[in-house]
Amino acid sequence: MKPWIVAIRPKTLMASFAPILLGSTLALDQGFYNFFLLSLILITAISIQIGTNLVNDYFDFLKGVDNKEMRGRTKVLVQGSVSIQGMRKAILAVFSVAILGSSYLIYKGGWPFALIGSASIFLQLLIQQVPNL
């Protein structure tokens, strides 16, 4: 379990929490609040963040950017504590959760949610195609 905790990079998850919590605080101040939607938005955003972290590790490993000589955060694929197949399955599972959550949010909120979700995935794939990023 510990390698997966390292791979999802818990310290980065605040990047998905903070804007959502700020927005929900503003909505609550205006008298609007829906705990179900807040929960779904948080789960979806966190899933996208975790998926992005996993995809980043996966492609850095495949490109040879991550290696044993590098310092800094632990690279679970380089260490062999997570298999490539396991990482692929985790990426698929996490993005499936994000897609399921996004589907309902798109249904309730319309095209802005579709645009945000699509842009998140597109930009992540684009970034992975740029050498040495």
Give the pLDDT confidence score for residue 92 in this predicted structure. 93
pLDDT mean across residues, the chain: 85
User: Is a pLDDT exceeding 70 seen at residue 128?
Assistant: no
Count, residues in the chain: 133
Q: CA 80, 82, 86, 87 torsion: positive or negative?
A: negative
More confident residue, 21 or 64: 21
What is the value of pTM for the model shown? 0.81
Give Cβ neighbours of residue 13 (< 8 Å, ≥ 6 apart).
46, 49, 50
Q: CA 118, 119, 123, 124 torsion: positive or negative?
A: negative
Give the pLDDT confidence score for residue 64 in this predicted structure. 77
Segment 58-83 shows an average pLDDT of: 78
Q: How many other C-beta atoms are found inside a 10 Å radius of the C-beta of residue 85? A: 8
Segment 91-119 shows an average pLDDT of: 88
